[in-house]
Structure 1
Amino acid sequence: MGMSRRQLLGVGAAGSAALLVGTSAVSSSRFRAPRWSHDPFTLGVASGDPTPDGMVLWTRLAPDPFAPDGSGGSGRSPVTVDYQVAEDEAFTRVVRSGEAVATRESAHSVHPEIHGLAPDRWYYYRFRAGSVISPVGRTRTAPAAGARPDRLRFVFASCQAWSDGYYTAYDHIADEDLDLVVHLGDYIYEDAVSGQRTGRWVESHLRPEARDLAGYRLRYALSKVEAPLQRAHARFPWLVTMDDHEVDDNWASGSSGLDLDIDVLPAVFRRRRAAAMRAMYEHQPLRLTQRPSGTRVHLHRRYSHGDLAEITMLDTRQYRTRQASLNGDLTTHRRQRRAADRTILGAAQREWFLDGLAHSDARWQIIGNQVVMGQTDHDPGPAISVSTDAWDGYVAERDTLLATAADRGVRNLVVITGDRHENYAADLRRDYADPDSAVVGSEFTGTSVTSGGDGVDVYDHGRRLLAANPDLKFFNAQRGYVRVEVDRQLWRNDFRVVPYVTRPGAPVLTRATYVVRDGEPGVIEAWRPDRATDSEPELDLDDLAQPSESIR
């Protein structure tokens, strides 16, 4: 039988027990937990960044997650947190155990990094603080380097403004059969929360816009107490990054977004950004290599799934040139948008990215990307109007990346994107100034989990986009997530949507399915009803992998 949550975790099973402050080894002393008056694991557990022999685990001790000072109510003293990793949910076959020290300076969060596990298999983990045992999480290691896995299943999600709706999508994500969850940013929203979300009153100290460390910590706590999100974190390992709302809407490198003139108050934004980065690390399953140093955090990295797929997580915020404008006419801004010295990645990250494309043997190159890469013209007439916060504001760099991928013979380039609160399926073209240039890849943009409220299927804005952008094959503006299954012949992309988020309990539907064939850049419609229904056909991936006019 498994231990109850109130039983003590035995420490000393297979594997050495290292004492950590979050992740870093310190002395051999143990720090006694206080006598908890409330459950310290109110924010759940999580795992992330799997490798063939391990992953990083995460939890934060927060018996009072909404304490106004952002401390989580764990006091000032360090607490030793024990952890176990086992082959079974009952923890009768423990394979790794150890200790981590949760300190007030790190909001009593811990990030133990696990090594020495078998590749490509599921494990279970849990924590103990004093006499209280956390919920059990499930995670898995990546396939071994050089392995030939048959498939990869994952979902990607983004944009979950707490005040805009319920996190019902995560309940459905938790019920999926997946290897991984990829989160592409806007995990929190920094802006003010006003009034009352249906079913939960917002305390006054949670309402102001987050600008300091306490404010950002409270924003994460507000999201992380949600049961659906906790379920999805506990069910699968995650790859996480950030976009803009983790700091400030539309921020760019050293420049703030819309509400602060960085030329007047640069130090204010530096302090704000440092606080936001610190809070993000404290609340996500990130490794020591992602621990912030002041205003900087190293988020671009790769996940390899044997020789089948490689996911490259980009960072399109920290190193970019400030936007030419947020929205503007291409004629007015054409020269600036196309300037060779404008960058969305920064020189170092760009070279790292291109070098990875050149040396990877993976069949599928998957790019985890925050803002839309393909051209998105908002004017169906002869003029072109684009958002310069996206890659449309950094045309020369986009053209260089797409051309280099084509010239280096990247077999299957597929970009997954968040930000827009809309679902897109689109071809990626080598040079958007030349409508006859080659299609070199595919891009799937996923909608928001909640941001924007209930959403709609297609409306006038979507019809204009479809009319203005021949490379855009699908548009939808409901809420949800994107489910992906990749094998050696085919990428299957299911747009999963919920009909409402302003009240709980929404069902999930597959709105449309698009595929990409191995060695054939561009998206192909596989199934798309006239409108979302309660059922969908069973699609045979082997049939879809064969050329067929019926699914074009």
Structure 2
Amino acid sequence: MSDDLITGHNRSNTSGAFDRGRRVFLKSLLAGSALVVLDQLGGRHLTDALVRAGKSATHSLPRYQPRHHPGQGFGQSVAAGDPTSSGAILWTRIDPELVPGIRAADYDPALVQWLDGASDSPQDAVRRAIDDGTFVMVEIATTRDFSQVALRGYTPIWRDYDNVVKVDTDGRLAPQKTYYYRFITKTGHVSPIGRFRTLASKESHLDSLRFAYVSCQDYTNGYYHALRFAAEEEVDFVIHLGDYIYESVGDPSYQNPLPDRQIRLPSGQPKAFTIEDYRTLYRTYKSDPDLRKLHERHAMISIWDDHEFANDAYYPAVAPDDSLKSHPDRRQIANRVWFEYTPARIQFDPGKSFKDSIRIYRSIQVGNLAEFIFTDERLYRSSHPCGEETLDRYFSAGCPRMYDPAQTMLGAGVSQQKEWFLHRIKNSDSLWKIWGNEVQFTPLKALTRYVNLDAWDGFAGERKEITQTLKDAGIKNFITITGDLHTFEANLIMEDYQKDPDDAAVGIEFMVGSVTSSNLSEMIYQAATNTALGAHSNPLPLEAIQEIIRRILGVTTPLTRSLVDFVVDKLNGIIQTENPWIKLFNSTTHGYCVMELTPYKATWTAYSVDDTKSRDAGDKSLLFQCEVPKDQARIRILNP
């Protein structure tokens, strides 16, 4: 029985060709994961296998041993992502002051090296890198004390990618099992311990699946209490719907970050433009103890929204708040750094244009119970339909272009995403179809105007195409999970919002509020008191909020606290009256959501957390809870 060293873009095509009991594989980060040497231990150790296979090997590989307190040198801790039934992407970053890592250009991404007794031994460069300590050892175990190691190996630290490590263990672990993992350097520095759970195989019949989801976590605007509570949930994984970082950090003319949450970018600018700017943001965000805790406890499936690049971004790499000209270099930098810091089964090719260098839309199936379909609603989307001025995008009267089929969120003609998305929906054989969607899908009007044309209201023609597809194909059990607006909502998805009754709904939308980013209530307070606290993470510009206040009260500022509360209550009532498909609405708090899927129903629970401006917050509280019965697009409200 032989050990193997393989590389490839699709491991499933080769999995039957070698022994699963003992295998060693080599892949390049440029092809989707790290260059890695792994051995599923059982009988013969990795060291012995390499020595026997190497025709000229003169010594064994070192076994790195922990000698320092866990976490030293691992400022961003660890993370797991994109779990499958047989693995996950494992991620960390090592302080380059401790270990500088290796240059990616030193390794051939197409290298294939078989260790079957007939092939040559591993490249000398690989062996030297392990001996020199520019690789890190990764261990995956079924016990937290690592007494039962399931997988162990060596993987490079990639200097060109900000000293990150990414390892894909897909195809090497057992389904529906909890694993623990850690990274150890030759110097004896050891990472914190991470944990993740593999998913059920596609053939499995599941009784239940439970996941949490979050979005919009402006670091400067508050503390991550929602993430701490989400980490404590017993869930199979967590979904992040975007705005993991904010490119803006604290322009004193309109921002006021918390004193201990301020970020200074290397460029000295109030927004990220350079690669070191974006890397600084991810390093800072990932140093937060509550975000670290979430990543250490659960695997995360991530997509981006706009702030991973720039506010209200659209194709071709335009950030309208900064310039109406395309900025492909900045967009490419944002793509690259998201790839570096996100444990996702995504490839990045720096040799291609910003549009083609990365593709984040993908789907993940969990047993027969659910398929999760994730889309990218920034990289390929059209510009805003009615113009790029503030009141063209927000609190707008609308315009005919909103209904033009060529006005696209998913990027027809720019990418194959729309065709892929509709095909996945129509052909999924899972009971529940869960769409990971960044921005509000259902219409949202207030005082007869469109609140947000940066959301799907600005792409109403394409939205109609999607809902028509759902209706014509008889798709059932379709649920959209959404972020972006910093608001909790439970909505019916209609094919015709003007004519269809509730019982004609084709799906359900459940929106999660923000982790810290300002909600509508906070924005009204800012506008009414002439403050701009947190304005950089507002879901709507202050100019739009001031116009809403003026239309409700006849004046804008200054207002008393009681008048602010009156405007908030009045706006909530107006929204639910003008949008009868919105069954639950709250934009006064922060938190996260949990969804449990069973063969009979989907249960959605929204949690509110205490004051995000205080480091010492108390507890969470139940905000909303409702059910969606199997095969019925209706919302059964359980609480309140």
Flag whether TM exceeds 0.5 (same fold): yes
More strand by share: 1
Give the letter for the 2:177 counterpart: R
Residue 289 of structure 1: SS of its match in structure 2? coil
Question: Contact 1:338–1:394 at 8 Å: present in 2 too?
Answer: yes
Instruction: Determine if the alignment matches structure 1 residue 441 to structure 2 residue 499.
Output: no
For residue 243 of structure 1, the aligned residue among 299, 305, 310 is 305
| Structure-1 residue corresponding to 2:580 | 470
Tell me how far apart the structure 1 counterparts of residues 305 and 89 of structure 2 sit (CA, whole Å): 22
Give the letter for the 1:226 counterpart: D
Instruction: Determine if the alignment matches structure 1 residue 283 to structure 2 residue 341.
Output: yes
| Structure-2 residue corresponding to 1:4 | none
For residue 421 of structure 1, the aligned residue among 482, 486, 491 is 486
CA distance 1:123–1:391, change in 2 (3 Å): same
Instruction: Determine if the alignment matches structure 1 residue 80 to structure 2 residue 135.
Output: yes
Instruction: Determine if the alignment matches structure 1 residue 503 to structure 2 residue 510.
Output: no
| Structure-1 residue corresponding to 2:320 | 258
Instruction: Determine if the alignment matches structure 1 residue 213 to structure 2 residue 260.
Output: no
Tell me how far apart the structure 1 counterparts of residues 95 and 315 of structure 2 sit (CA, whole Å): 31
| Structure-2 residue corresponding to 1:145 | 202
| Structure-1 residue corresponding to 2:120 | none
- 1:234-269 alpha-carbon deviations (Å, 9 max, x no partner): 111111000000000000121423333333xx3xx1
Across the aligned residues of Structure 1 and Structure 2, the Cα RMSD in angstroms comes to 2.8
For residue 122 of structure 1, the aligned residue among 161, 167, 178 is 178
Tell me how far apart the structure 2 counterparts of residues 358 and 421 of structure 1 sit (CA, whole Å): 30
Give the letter for the 1:473 counterpart: K
Question: Contact 2:397–2:450 at 8 Å: present in 1 too?
Answer: no
Instruction: Determine if the alignment matches structure 1 residue 374 to structure 2 residue 442.
Output: yes
Which 4+ runs in 1 deviate beyond 6 A? 26-33, 35-38
For residue 333 of structure 1, the aligned residue among 393, 398, 417 is 398
Tell me how far apart the structure 2 counterparts of residues 123 and 159 of structure 1 sit (CA, whole Å): 29
Matches for 1:96-245 after TM superposition, within 5 Å: 96-114=151-169, 115-130=171-186, 131-193=188-250, 197-200=258-261, 202-203=263-264, 205=266, 208-245=270-307
Cα distance, 1:52 vs structure 2: 1.4
CA distance 1:82–1:14, change in 2 (3 Å): farther
CA distance 1:199–1:248, change in 2 (3 Å): closer
Residue 279 of structure 1: SS of its match in structure 2? helix
Unaligned runs of 5+ in 1: 1-12, 65-72, 529-552
Residue 495 of structure 1: SS of its match in structure 2? strand
Question: Contact 1:83–1:127 at 8 Å: present in 2 too?
Answer: yes
Tell me how far apart the structure 1 counterparts of residues 353 and 163 of structure 2 sit (CA, whole Å): 19
Matches for 1:256-405 after TM superposition, within 5 Å: 256-263=318-325, 266=326, 269-289=327-347, 293-296=352-355, 297-324=358-385, 325=387, 327-328=391-392, 333-347=398-412, 348-379=416-447, 383-405=448-470
Give the letter for the 1:295 counterpart: F
Give the letter for the 2:368 counterpart: D
Give the letter for the 1:241 counterpart: I
CA distance 1:196–1:335, change in 2 (3 Å): closer
| Structure-2 residue corresponding to 1:50 | 83
Tell me how far apart the structure 2 counterparts of residues 441 and 491 of structure 1 sit (CA, whole Å): 12
Tell me how far apart the structure 2 counterparts of residues 150 and 284 of structure 1 sit (CA, whole Å): 30
Residue 399 of structure 2: SS of its match in structure 1? helix
Tell me how far apart the structure 1 counterparts of residues 615 and 391 of structure 2 sit (CA, whole Å): 34
- 1:82-127 alpha-carbon deviations (Å, 9 max, x no partner): 1111111111221112222112211111111002211111111111
Cα distance, 1:280 vs structure 2: 0.8
Residue 603 of structure 2: SS of its match in structure 1? strand
CA distance 1:92–1:31, change in 2 (3 Å): closer
Question: Contact 1:290–1:299 at 8 Å: present in 2 too?
Answer: no
Residue 614 of structure 2: SS of its match in structure 1? coil
Tell me how far apart the structure 2 counterparts of residues 454 and 318 of structure 1 sit (CA, whole Å): 27
Q: TM-score normalized by structure 2?
A: 0.73
Question: Contact 2:626–2:638 at 8 Å: present in 1 too?
Answer: yes
Give the letter for the 1:85 counterpart: I
Tell me how far apart the structure 1 counterparts of residues 375 and 456 of structure 2 sit (CA, whole Å): 13
Cα distance, 1:470 vs structure 2: 0.4
Tell me how far apart the structure 1 counterparts of residues 272 and 179 of structure 2 sit (CA, whole Å): 36
- 1:385-410 alpha-carbon deviations (Å, 9 max, x no partner): 24211111111111111111122122
Give the letter for the 2:372 counterpart: I
Give the letter for the 1:495 counterpart: A
For residue 23 of structure 2, the aligned residue among 16, 19, 29 is 16
Aligned residues: 500
Residue 291 of structure 2: SS of its match in structure 1? helix
| Structure-2 residue corresponding to 1:68 | none
Question: Contact 2:468–2:495 at 8 Å: present in 1 too?
Answer: yes
CA distance 1:520–1:95, change in 2 (3 Å): same
- 1:195-217 alpha-carbon deviations (Å, 9 max, x no partner): 65244564574773111100000
Tell me how far apart the structure 2 counterparts of residues 511 and 497 of structure 1 sit (CA, whole Å): 6
Tell me how far apart the structure 2 counterparts of residues 95 and 257 of structure 1 sit (CA, whole Å): 46
CA distance 1:200–1:320, change in 2 (3 Å): closer
CA distance 1:307–1:26, change in 2 (3 Å): closer
| Structure-2 residue corresponding to 1:549 | none
CA distance 1:454–1:83, change in 2 (3 Å): farther
Question: Contact 1:253–1:318 at 8 Å: present in 2 too?
Answer: yes
CA distance 1:203–1:289, change in 2 (3 Å): closer
Q: TM-score normalized by structure 1?
A: 0.84
Residue 319 of structure 2: SS of its match in structure 1? coil
Unaligned runs of 5+ in 2: 1-19, 38-49, 51-56, 104-133, 523-564
CA distance 1:420–1:74, change in 2 (3 Å): farther
